[in-house]
């Protein structure tokens, strides 16, 4: 993984608002796209003089032919509000690819459960595309689903909403429990509370489970030690960096609070 991260000025290929506060942007970034893997993320710089830190945004799709990365993100703060206004042909500065992706080689010839919650759904799309074997895809949202149709090419898709407006009424873990769906391996991304329950579900059913974690981040390359998550290492509690050691961790490694 050494010496492949780059900074690059990317041009916006397309930009869409696909659900309330959810934006879908394709960025022409050939150098970064050529070495990106499913589950990795990019740091995007606001470059406005006020918001000095880059924003970590997961990679939703990688198009090596076009040399582009697709990002799907939620407008939550100053940085993502700026990015939500990006239009075709605008440019933005990126750094990446950051972190380690999903362990796709472990999914070969297995039954993989892909479980996403809210804005944790996007990085699973590129993963789903690249996994060989049986896939069950469970996507949870508060109220407004997005990207679900695109997952249908890659496996059985089940949608859950907290308010029951679409699909199963309840969260993704409740769905797995109720339908008694079990697989051999879980790849997931979503709110910490969902990942925690999913981790318990996996442990109970003896399924390998990988979770993509999030934490407030600065450098994105492992130098500042800002974005840590507490893990067990040799039986002791310690901190690992989301940006460099993660963002994907084995759920058994994480100290869930």
Partner 1 sequence: MNTKVNICSVELKNPVMTASGTFGSGREFSEFTDLNKLGAVVVKGVAAKPWQGNPPPRIAEVYGGMLNSVGLQNPGADYFIKNDIPFLRQFDTKIVVNICGHSEQEYIDVTEKLRGADVDLLELNISCPNVSEGGMSFGTDPKVAEKVVKAVKKRADKPLIVKLSPNVTDITEIARAAVSGGADALSLINTLTGMKIDVKRRKSVLYRKIGGMSGPAVKPVALAMVYKVCKAVDVPVIGMGGISNAEDALEFIMAGATAVSIGTANFTDPGAAEKVAEGIKKYMSHEGINDLSEIRGIID
Point out which residues bind partner 1 (CB under 8 A): 2-5, 7, 45, 49-54, 78, 95, 215-230, 238-239, 244
CB 192 → partner 1: shortest distance, Å? 11
According to DSSP, residue 131 is labeled: -
If the CB atoms of residues 142 and 153 are measured against partner 1, the closer one turns out to be 142
CB 225 → partner 1: shortest distance, Å? 5
If the CB atoms of residues 17 and 238 are measured against partner 1, the closer one turns out to be 238
If the CB atoms of residues 95 and 113 are measured against partner 1, the closer one turns out to be 95
Burial class (CB in 10 A: 0-12, 13-18, 19+), 194: buried
If the CB atoms of residues 3 and 105 are measured against partner 1, the closer one turns out to be 3
Q: Which two tokens stand for residue 183?
A: 């697989």
CB 50 → partner 1: shortest distance, Å? 6
If the CB atoms of residues 124 and 228 are measured against partner 1, the closer one turns out to be 228
Residue with tokens 């310690």: 238
CB 238 → partner 1: shortest distance, Å? 7
Can you tell me the distance from the alpha carbon of 38 to that of 206, in angstroms, rounded to the nearest whole number?
25
CB neighbours (10 Å) of residue 2?
A: 4
CB 61 → partner 1: shortest distance, Å? 25
CB neighbours of 193 closer than 8 A, spacing ≥ 6?
A: none
Helix, strand or coil, per DSSP, at residue 11: strand
CB neighbours (10 Å) of residue 9?
A: 13
Can you tell me the distance from the alpha carbon of 122 to that of 26, in angstroms, rounded to the nearest whole number?
13
């Amino acid at each position: 993984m050494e010496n492949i991260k780059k900074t690059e000025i990317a041009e916006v290929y397309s930009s869409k608002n696909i659900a309330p506060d959810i934006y879908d942007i394709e960025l022409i970034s050939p150098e970064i796209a050529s070495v990106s893997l499913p589950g990795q993320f990019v740091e995007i710089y606001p470059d406005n003089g006020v918001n000095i830190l880059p924003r970590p945004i997961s990679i939703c799709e990688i198009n090596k032919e076009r040399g582009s990365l697709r990002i799907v993100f939620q407008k939550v703060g100053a940085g993502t509000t700026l990015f939500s206004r990006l239009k075709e042909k605008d440019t933005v500065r990126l750094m990446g690819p950051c972190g380690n992706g999903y362990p796709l080689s472990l999914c070969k010839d297995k039954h993989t459960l892909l479980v996403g919650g809210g804005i944790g759904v996007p990085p699973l799309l590129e993963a789903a595309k690249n996994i060989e074997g049986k896939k069950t895809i469970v996507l949870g949202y508060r109220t407004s689903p997005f990207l679900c149709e695109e997952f249908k090419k890659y496996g059985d898709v089940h949608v859950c909403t907290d308010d029951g407006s679409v699909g199963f009424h309840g969260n993704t873990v409740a769905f797995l429990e109720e339908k008694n769906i079990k697989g051999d391996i879980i790849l997931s991304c979503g709110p910490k509370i969902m990942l925690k329950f999913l981790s318990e579900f996996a442990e109970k059913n003896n399924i390998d489970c990988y979770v993509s974690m999030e934490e407030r981040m600065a450098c994105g390359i492992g130098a500042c030690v800002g974005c840590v998550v507490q893990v067990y290492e040799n039986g002791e509690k310690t901190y690992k960096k989301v940006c460099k050691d993660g963002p994907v961790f084995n759920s058994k490694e994480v100290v869930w609070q």
